[in-house]
Amino acid sequence: MPLSRVRIQSFRCIAEVELELHPGRNYIFGPNGAGKTSLLEAMHVLGRGRSFRTRRSRRLIRRGAEGFSVYGEVYADGVRRRLGVGLGAAGLALRLDGEAAPGMAALAETLPVHVVEPNIHQLIEGGPGERRRFLDWGVFHVEQGYLAAWRRYRRVLGQRNAALKAGRGVEAWNQAFLEAASAVDSPRSRYVEQLSEGLEGLGEALLGCALDVSYRSGWSRESDLPAAIAASAVRDARSGATQVGPHRADIAITMDARGVREEVSRGQQKLVAAALILAQIRVFARGRADGGLLLVDDPAAELDREALAGLMSVLDDLPAQLVMTGLSETLLPPAAGYPVFHVERGRITSVL
C-alpha cells in the first residue's frame, strides 16, 4: 500500500508542502536543518501517530501555529484510502476515509511505517522495552487479533499487580493471567521464527557475517509459565509486582555467536538494527501486497562507503516503498527514473 500523496501543514519548520510520491524510491536532498527529517517525521506520524524523534507531540507544531496536520493517500487494490492526523487545542485527531478513526491501529494497518534513522542503535543498546515494542509492532501486522490479546494481557497484568500491591492473594487472577499470557507469548514466538528467516542474507550483506535472533519469553527456559509463576510467588508479594511473564520478554540478537548489545561497536549496532527492520519488512510483505513504507534518514552521514553500498544493495530488492534523505546527490546518488526533491528552509521543490 504505497503512500501516493502527502500534505503537511504547520509541522516543525514546514509551513505547508505537498508531495506526490513514487511507489518505489523517492529522494529528498538538502542542507542540515532544511527540513528533510521533518518530512520523514510527518510521514511517520501519519502511520504511527507519533514522531520517531520525540514523544512530546506539541514540539512538532510550527512556531506561531495552533496545531499541525498531516494528510495522506494510499492506494490498495485500486482503492484510495485517505488518512489524516492532526494535533490542536482539542488534542490528537485521527481520520480515515473522511471519518474519525477508531484508533491509531486503524491507520497503522493502512500504512505500516518503518524508519532507519541515526538513533536506531537504541533498538540494540536500549532496554528490553525497546525490543518488545519492535516485536509487538511486527506481531500486530502479521497475527490477526494480536492487539486485542495484548490489551487483555495488559489489563489482567494490571489487575494482578494491583492485588499484589494491596497485599491481597492473587490466586483468583492466576488462571486469567496464564490464559492471557499464552495468547501473547505464542504469536510472539511464531513471529520471531519468521523474523529469523527474514534475516537470511542481511547480516552478510551489511556486516559480513550472519545474524541470529531468538525469543526470550520472560521466564526461565527450564520451566513453563505456571511453574515460573508458582516459583515467583514470594518475589511477587515482596515487590508488589508480577516478576515473570510476557511483559518481561526480550529478543536476543547475536553476530558470530557474540551478543550485539555488549560486544560490537555503535556503528555495527546500527547496522544490526537496520537488518532487523529490513527483516521485519520482509515478513510483512509475505502476507500483504508489500512491506509498507520505509523512511531512511541520511544514511550517507551515518555509514562508511562500504556499509552504505551494502545497505543500498539490500534496498534494491526490498518489497517496500522508500523515502530517503541526504545532504547531496554526490553522497547518495539517486537511482535513475525515481523522483528527486530538494528542500530548503521548509520549502520543497521537485527536481525530477
Which domains does the chain show, CATH number per domain? Answer: 1-112+292-352 (3.40.50.300), 118-288 (1.20.1050.90)
Strands (E) located in the chain: 3-11, 14-20, 25-29, 68-76, 79-88, 91-96, 99-100, 113-116, 211-216, 250-255, 258-259, 293-296, 321-326, 340-344, 347-350
Q: Which three cell numbers stand for residue 88?
A: 490542536
Q: What is the pTM of this model?
A: 0.94
Average pLDDT (104-119) is: 93
Which of the pair, 79 or 191, is modelled with greater confidence? Answer: 191
- 264-285: pLDDT as tens digits: 788 888 899 999 999 999 999 9
pLDDT in tens, 149-172: 999 999 999 999 999 999 998 998
Mean pLDDT in residue range 309-325: 92
Residue 206 to residue 17: CA distance in whole angstroms? 34
CA-nearest of 191, 234, 231 to 213 is: 191
Helix ranges restricted to H, 287-350: 299-302, 305-316
Asked whether residue 288 carries a pLDDT value surpassing 80, the answer given is no
Name the DSSP letter for residue 12. T
Q: Which three cell numbers stand for residue 69?
A: 496536520
Angle in degrees, 0-180, between the axes of helices 266-286 and 305-316, rounded to the nearest 10: 0
Residues 60-75: tens digit of each pLDDT: 999 999 999 999 999 8
Distance CA 89, CA 66 (A): 7
Beta-strand relationship, 340-344 and 113-116: unpaired
| pLDDT for residue 219 is more than 90 | yes
